Structure 1
C-alpha cells in the first residue's frame, strides 16, 4: 500500500496552488494536502504539525523567500522544501540550495510526472540528509564518549601509577626490613649455634644424657632457624636486585657429590635411596659455586621432604650449545598440574594451611627460579600426583656476569678472560689462586 504523504503548499496565488494540487492528484500521489498563503501561517502550521514536503512559492508578497528559508532553519524546523520559481535561473537555484532548500522547480515545467518526481527526490534527499545528520550526531557523541573514557582511563592510569609507586616503596621498605631483621637475627642465632657446639665438646665437661639431648635439640633447631633466615635474606636480596654472582671456574661434579654427601643423612633417616649419575665429558664450569650448591641443596632437600618411599636421583649431563643440565627426580607425592603456575611463587606452598604436613618458608623454589634466571638458565618441571616430580635445570657452561669492577680478582672474571690472562706471559702468576693456575689447559 502506497504511503500517504502530508504536503503543504505555500503561496499567495490561488491558481498556482490549484495547479500543484491538480498535478499531484493526476500523478496518483496519496496525500493529505494543506495550503497557506503567507509566511506567518507557514511558521505556525509547521510548528503545530509535521509534513513530508513543503512546496513554497518564490514570490511571496510578505517576505523574501531566501530570508524565510534561513529563518526556518534557524528555528530548527526541519522539512523538505521545494521552491517554485517563475523562471529557469541557475544563480537563483544555487542561492536557494545554499539557503537550505531541498530542491527547486520552474512553474513552467510543472506537470504530474515532473512534480511527482521532484516530490519523491526531495523526500529521498531530505531523509538521506537526516540519516547523515543522525550518523554525524552519533559519531560526535561517540567521539565525546571516547574522549570522556580516555580522560577517565588517564585518571585511572595516573591513580594506578601512584598506587604502583606506593606498592614499590612498600616493597622496598619490606625488603629492607627483611634484610635488616634477618641480618640482626643471624648474629644471636650464630651465637646460639656456636655455644651449643661448645657445650657438646667433651673438654667443656660431660653432660648427662638428658642435657646432651636438649643441647642437641637447641643446636639442630638453631641450624634450622638459621637456614630459614638465610632463605629470607637471600630472597630479599634477589627481590631488591642486590644479589650478584661471584663467578669462578670449578668442577660441577665435585660440588654435586659434596651436596649429595652432606644431605645423604636426611635421605637415610627416611630410608630413601639417594643416587647420582654424571654424564659430562668436561666437568668444569664457570659459575658461582656457592649459588649452584644452594640450588642443589634446595632441590634435593625438597625431593627428600616430599618423598616418603623410593629414591631420589641426581643427574648431570651435557647439552648442546655449551650448556649443562642438572636433573633431580623423586618418587614423592607429586604436584597437580593446576599448581604448576604457582610452584615458583614466593611464600607459596601447595598446602597453605598452618597445620600442613611439610614445613618451610615457601621460598626455596622461588630462590631457585631467580638464581637460575640470573645465571641465564631455564628450569623445567614435570610431575604427576602420587608418582613423583622431576626438576630439570639447564645452565650455560659459562655464565655472563653483569658487571666486573676494575679491581675484581681473577677468580671473579669471565672464564675466557681467565684463560687469556693465564696464557699472557706479561701477567704474574700471583694474580691467580693455585686451583686456577691449572685450569687454562682445559676448554669449557
Structure 2
C-alpha cells in the first residue's frame, strides 16, 4: 500500500511537471484537427485559456480519494464549457477537444506509467478516465445552459424586431393612405382645369398639331395616370387594413358587363380593336357588389386593351356547376410570360415580356387590386 501511495504521489509530480508539454501538444493537435473549425480564429491564449486550471484539477485526483478530488474539477470544467459556448464552439468540437486531451495525457504519461505495476497502471487509467468523463459532463452542462440563454436572448430580440417591423408596416400603410388622400384632391383639380383649358384652346385654335394643345394633352395624360395610381393605392390600403366593405345586392351580370363594354368600347376602337361580348350562358342574377365587380372588369379589360396591338378583346360569362359562375377576359395581345404569372398579382409588379413602350403605362397596382377584390368576393 505504501509503494502504491508513493507511485500515485510520483504520478502527480510527473503530471504537474508535464503540464506545459501537454498544453503545447494539445494546442498543436487542435490546430491541425480540421474538425475543430471554431479554433481557427482564436489565439493560443484564447484557445487554451481554461486548460491550465483543468489540468491542475486533474493532477489532484492521484493522491486523494475520489470524492474530494472530483470537487476540484467542477469549477474548471464549468468555466471551460461556458467559455467554449461563448466562443461559438459546436458541441462536437468540444467533444473532439476532450478526445485529443485524453489521448495526449496518456501519451505523455506513458513512460512514467510503464514503471508501475499492472494494478497501479489500471488504477491511474481509471482515475484519469473517470475525471475526464466528469469534466466533459460538467463542461457540457454549462455549454448547454449558455446556448439556451443565447436562444432566449435571440428569441427576445426577434420578438422585439417583429414588433418593430409590424409597427413600421402599419405606419407605412397609414402614411401611404394619408399621402394618397392628400394627393387626390389637387390631382383632380389639375385634371379638371387641364380639361377646361384644353377645350378653350381647341375653340380658339383649330390646329390640332399646335404645341400648346399637345402640351395640355400630356399634362392630362400624366395627371390621369397619377390619379389612377392614387386611387388604386387607396383601394389596396383599405383592403390591407380590412376597411373595404362590401355592398351586397342582387345584380344583373349582363347589365354590368354591358356598362363596362359601353364605357371602354371607344378606347378599344381608338386602337383599332374589337370589343366582343359572349354572355349567352351567363347567370341573370347573382348576389355580389356591383361596384367592386365593375372595378374588376374595368381593370382587366383596360389591361387587355393596353397590351393588344391588333385583333379583339372578348368578355365572356357563363354558369358553372354547383351554383358557381365565372367571367373571363381574353385577348389577342402580347400575352404574359409563364414565369410572370404569379408575380403580376403583387403590388407594383409588372410583366416585362415584350412590352416595348408600354412599360411605363401601367401602375403595377391594377392586377394586385383585382386579385384582392376577387378574394373579397370569395372568388378564385
TM normalised by structure 1 equals 0.55
Cα pair 1:276 1:313 within 8 Å, conserved: yes
Give ranges in structure 2 of 5+ residues lacking alignment. Answer: 20-61, 75-116
Alpha-carbon distance between aligned partners in 2 of 1:320 and 1:148, rounded to the nearest angstrom: 57
Q: What corresponds to 2:234 in structure 1? A: 236
Residue 190 (1) aligns with residue 192 (2): yes
Aligned residue number for residue 162 of structure 1: 164
How far 1:334 moved relative to its partner?
Answer: 1.5
Mapped to 2, the partners of 1:281 and 1:355 lie a distance apart of 36
Max radius of gyration: which structure? 1
- Of structures 1 and 2, the one scoring higher in RCO (CA 8 A, sep 6+) is 2
Residue aligning to 1:400: none
Give distance in 2, aligned partners of 1:356 and 1:139: 67
* Ranges in structure 1 where 5+ consecutive residues have no aligned partner: 1-10, 18-34, 51-64, 78-114, 201-205, 379-444
CA distance in 1, matches of 2:121, 2:10: 22
Alpha-carbon distance, 1:67 to partner: 6.8
Q: Using the TM superposition, give the Cα deviation of residue 346 of structure 1 relative to its aligned residue in structure 2, in angstroms.
A: 1.7
Change over 3 Å in CA distance of 1:182–1:75 after alignment to 2: same
Q: How many equivalent residue pairs?
A: 291
The answer to whether 1:226 aligns with 2:195 is no
Do the aligned residues in 1 keep the contact of 2:183 with 2:230 (CA within 8 Å)? no
Q: Report how far residue 325 of structure 1 moved.
A: 0.6
The within-5 A match list for 1:291-370 is: 291-351=292-352, 356-358=357-359, 359-370=361-372
Tell me the TM-score normalised to structure 2 length.
0.63
- Greater fraction strand: 1
Q: What is the match of residue 179 of structure 2? A: 177
Residues 227-274 of structure 1: CA deviation (Å, up to 9, x unaligned): 641442242243143433333322111211221232222322333232
Flag the structure with higher helix content.
2
What does 1:376-391 correspond to in 2, within 5 Å? 376-378=378-380
After superposition, what is the alpha-carbon deviation per residue over 1:414-439, rounded to whole angstroms, capped at 9, x for unaligned? xxxxxxxxxxxxxxxxxxxxxxxxxx
Aligned 1:276-295 pairs, distance under 5 A: 276-280=277-281, 282-295=283-296
TM alignment of 1:387-426, pairs within 5 A:
none
- Deviation per CA, 1:315-350: give whole Å up to 9, x if none: 111123432211011121111222223201222223
Give the superposition deviation at 1:39: 8.4
Find out whether 1:266 has 2:264 as its counterpart: no
CA 1:348–1:127 in 2, change beyond 3 Å: closer, same or farther?
A: same
Distance across 2 between alignment mates of 1:259 and 1:307: 18
Partners of 2:324 and 2:185 in 1: how far apart?
35
